[in-house]
Amino acid sequence: MKPLSIITLDQISDALDSIDLLGEMRSAFIAYSSGRSVIPPVGELIIDEQPPGEVHIKYGYVRGGAHYVVKIASGFPRNQELGLPPGNGMMILFDVSNGSISSILLDEGQLTDVRTAAAGALASSVLGVPGARVGIIGTGVQARLQAVHHASALDRDDLMVWGRNLGKCSLLASDLEAHGLKVEIAESAEELAERCRTIVTCTASHTPLLTRPMIQPGTHVTAVGSDTPDKQELDPRILGSADLVVVDSLSQGLVRGEVARSIDAGTITPGRVVELGQILDGSNPGRSDPNHCTVADLTGVAVQDLFIAEAVARSLV
Residues identified as active-site: 71
Question: Candidates 74-82, 121-129, 187-195, 200-208 — which segment interacts with its own copies by CB under 8 A?
Answer: 74-82
Nearer to its own copies, 201 or 249 (CB): 249
User: If binding is defined by CB under 8 A, does position 218 make contact with its own copies?
Assistant: no
User: If binding is defined by CB under 8 A, does position 101 make contact with its own copies?
Assistant: yes
Which of 4, 171, 204, 254 touches its own copies by CB under 8 A?
4
Which of 63, 179, 182, 206 touches its own copies by CB under 8 A?
63
Cα–Cα distance, 42 to 31 (Å, whole number): 18
Which of 102-125 are b and which e, b meaning 16 or more Cβ less than 10 Å from the residue's Cβ?
bbbbbbbbbbbbbbbbbbbbbbbb
Cα–Cα distance, 300 to 317 (Å, whole number): 27
> Do the beta carbons of residue 107 and residue 12 sit within 8 Å?
yes
User: If binding is defined by CB under 8 A, does position 176 make contact with its own copies?
Assistant: no
Q: What is the C-alpha radius of gyration for the chain, rounded to an integer number of angstroms?
A: 19
Which of 7, 31, 75, 226 touches its own copies by CB under 8 A?
75
Cα–Cα distance, 225 to 231 (Å, whole number): 8
Determine the residue type at 254.
L
Question: Candidates 77-85, 110-118, 213-221, 287-295 — which segment interacts with its own copies by CB under 8 A?
Answer: 77-85
Length of the chain: 317
Tell me the closest approach of the beta carbon of residue 146 to its own copies, in angstroms.
22
User: Going along 76-113, which residue ranges are E strands?
Assistant: 87-95, 101-105
Question: Candidates 29-37, 93-101, 235-243, 271-279 — which segment interacts with its own copies by CB under 8 A?
Answer: 93-101
Residues in contact with its own copies, shown as a per-residue x/- string from 38 to 57 under the rule CB under 8 A: x-x--xxxxx-x-x-x-x-x
Which of 12, 16, 29, 68 touches its own copies by CB under 8 A?
68
